Amino acid sequence: MHGTFSAIGFLTRTRRPGRIDMTDILSWLWLVGGTLAVLIPVIWAGLSSLKPEAEITRFPPTLLPRAAVQVEVQGFDKPLSLWNATVDGEAREMAMVRRIGLKAQMVDPKYPGKPVSVDTRSISPVQRLTVATENYTDPLTRFNFLTFLKNSVFVTFVATLLTLIVNALAAFALSKYRFRGDTAIFVLIISTLMIPLTVVMVPAYLVVVGVGLVDNLWGVIIPTVASPTGVFLLRQYMLTIPDELIEAARVDAASEFRIFWRIVLPLTAPALAVLAIFSVLWRWNDFLWPLIVLSSRENFTLQVGLNAFQGEFSVQWHYILAMTFLSLVPVTLVFLFLQRYITTGIAGTGMK
Amino acid sequence: MSSTPQASWRLHVATGGTDMAGATGFADRALDLAMAVVEAPINAVERLIGKRRMPYLFLAPNLVLFGIFTFLPIAIAVGYAFTGGTELLISNRPFVGLDNFRTLLSCESYLVPGSCEESLFWTAIWNTLWFVGFNVAATLLVALVTALILDRAIAARGFFRAMFFYPVLLSPVVIGLIWKWFLDRNGLLNAFLQMLGVPPEIFLLEVGWSRFFVVVVSVWFHMGFYTLILLAGLQAIPKDLYEAAAIDAATPSRTLLRITLPLLGPNLIVVLVLLMIKSVQIFDEAWVLTNGGGPGTANTFLVQYIYQMAFAGDLRLYGLASAASVLMGLVLLVLTLVQLRLGKKAES
DSSP B274-331: HHHHHHHT--HHHHHHTTTT-STTTT--HHHHHHHHHTSTT---HHHHHHHHHHHHHH
In angstroms, the separation between the Cα of residue B109 and the nearest Cα of chain A is 26
A308 touches B: beta carbon within 8 Å? no
- The rounded distance, in Å, linking the Cα atoms of B259 and B251 is 11
C-beta atoms of B74 and A267 within 8 A: no
| Chain B residues touching A177 at Cβ < 8 A | 54-55
H/E run at residue A152 = helix A145-176
Question: Which of A148, A155, A198 is the best mutation test for B, with the most CBs of B within 10 A?
Answer: A198
Q: Which residues of chain B have pLDDT under 70?
A: 1-24, 343, 345-348
- DSSP secondary-structure letter at B205? G
Q: How far apart are CA B275 and CA B269, in angstroms?
A: 10
Interval A32-59: pLDDT, tens = 999 999 999 999 988 888 888 877 777 7
Q: Tens place of pLDDT for every residue, chain A, 352 residues?
A: 344 444 445 544 555 555 667 778 888 899 999 999 999 999 998 888 888 887 777 777 777 777 777 777 777 777 888 888 877 777 778 888 888 778 888 888 777 777 888 887 778 777 777 778 888 888 888 778 889 999 999 999 999 999 999 999 999 999 999 999 888 998 888 877 777 778 888 889 989 998 999 999 999 999 999 988 889 889 988 998 999 999 999 898 888 999 998 899 999 988 898 888 889 888 999 999 999 999 999 999 999 998 888 877 766 888 888 888 888 888 888 888 887 777 777 766 655 5
Q: For B173, which of A174, A223, A307 is closest by C-beta distance?
A: A307
Task: Give the Å distances, CA to CA, from B183 to A54, A318, B4, B314.
Answer: 19, 16, 60, 32
Asked if A226 lies within 8 A of B65 by C-beta distance, the reply is yes
Q: Quick check: A169 and B167 CB within 8 A?
A: no
Distance CA B37, CA B32 (A): 9
Listed in sequence order, the residues at least 6 apart from B344 whose beta carbon sits closer than 8 Å to its beta carbon are: none
| pLDDT value at residue A350 | 59
Write down the pLDDT at residue A16.
54
Partner-chain contact B181 A45, CB within 8 Å? yes
* Backbone phi and psi for residue B199, each to the nearest 5 degrees, phi listed first: -65, 145
Tell me the C-alpha distance between A206 and A95, whole Å.
Answer: 65
Rounded CA-CA distance A39/B167 in Å is: 9
Distance to chain B for A252, nearest Cα, Å: 14
DSSP string, A241-276: S-HHHHHHHHHTT--HHHHIIIIIHHHTHHHHHHHH
Do residues B43 and A157 touch, judged by C-beta distance below 8 A?
no
For B326, nearest residue in chain A (alpha carbons) = A199
Q: If 0-12 CB within 10 Å is exposed, 13-18 middle and 19+ buried, where does residue B241 land? A: middle
* Cβ–Cβ below 8 Å for B307 and A34: no
Determine, for residues A59 and B77 on separate chains, whether the beta-carbon distance falls below 8 Å: no
DSSP letters spanning A162-219: HHHHHHHHHHHHHHH---TTHHHHHHHHHHGGG--HHHHHHHHHHHHHHTT-TTSHHH
Distance CA B24, CA B30 (A): 10
* CB pair distance less than 8 Å for A226 and B70: yes
Nearest-Cα distance to chain A for B19, in Å, is 12
In chain B, which residue's Cα lies nearest the Cα of A226?
B62
Residue of A nearest to B163 (CA): A35
Which residues from B are below 8 Å from A345, CB to CB?
Answer: none
What residues 42-101 of chain A have any CB closer than 8 A to a CB of chain B? Answer: 42, 44-45, 48, 57-61
DSSP A33: H
| Residue of chain A nearest B281, judged by CA positions | A198
CB atoms A27 and B154 under 8 Å: yes
- A-chain CB neighbours of B232 within 8 Å are 347
pLDDT at residue B178 in the model: 93
ipTM, two decimals, is 0.80
Q: Report pLDDT for A3.
A: 41
Q: pLDDT tens digits for B219-277?
A: 999 999 899 889 888 888 888 888 888 888 888 788 888 888 888 887 888 888 889 88
Tell me how far apart the alpha carbons of residues A234 and B334 are, in angstroms, rounded to a whole number. 28
Q: Which residues in chain B have their CB less than 8 angstroms from residue A209's CB?
A: 88
Write out chain B residues lying below 8 Å of A199, CB-based.
Answer: 77, 325-326, 328-329, 332
Residues of B within 8 A of A306 (CB-CB) are 173-174, 177
Tell me whether residue A5 is exposed, middle or buried, using C-beta atoms within 10 angstroms of its C-beta: 0 to 12, 13 to 18, 19 or more.
exposed
Count chain A–chain B contacts defined by CB atoms under 8 A: 294
How far away is chain A from the Cα of B271, in angstroms, using its nearest Cα?
10
Strand partners of residue A243: none
- Test B70 with A195 for CB contact under 8 angstroms: yes
CATH dotted code for B99-347: 1.10.3720.10
Contacts of A42 in chain B (CB under 8 A): 178
The domains of chain B are located at: 5-77, 99-347
Q: Which pLDDT does position A62 carry in this prediction?
A: 76
What stretch of H or E contains B225?
helix B207-235
The rounded distance, in Å, linking the Cα atoms of B309 and B313 is: 9
As its CATH architecture, domain A143-349 has: Orthogonal Bundle (1.10)
A20 touching B, CB under 8 A?
no
The answer to whether A256 contacts B318, with C-beta atoms less than 8 Å apart, is no
Long-range Cβ contact pairs of A90-96 (< 8 A, separation 24 or more): A93/A126, A94/A118, A94/A123, A95/A71, A96/A123
Query: Are the C-beta atoms of B83 and B93 separated by less than 8 Å?
Result: yes
Distance CA A60, CA A50 (A): 17
Distance CA B23, CA B46 (A): 34
How far, in Å, CA of B65 to CA of A288, rounded? 20
Residues of chain A found within 8 Å of residue B303, distances taken between Cβ atoms: 198, 288
The verdict on A327 touching B (C-beta cutoff 8 Å) is: yes
The answer to whether A133 faces chain B, any CB pair under 8 Å, is no
- Chain A residues with CB under 8 Å of B90 CB are 206
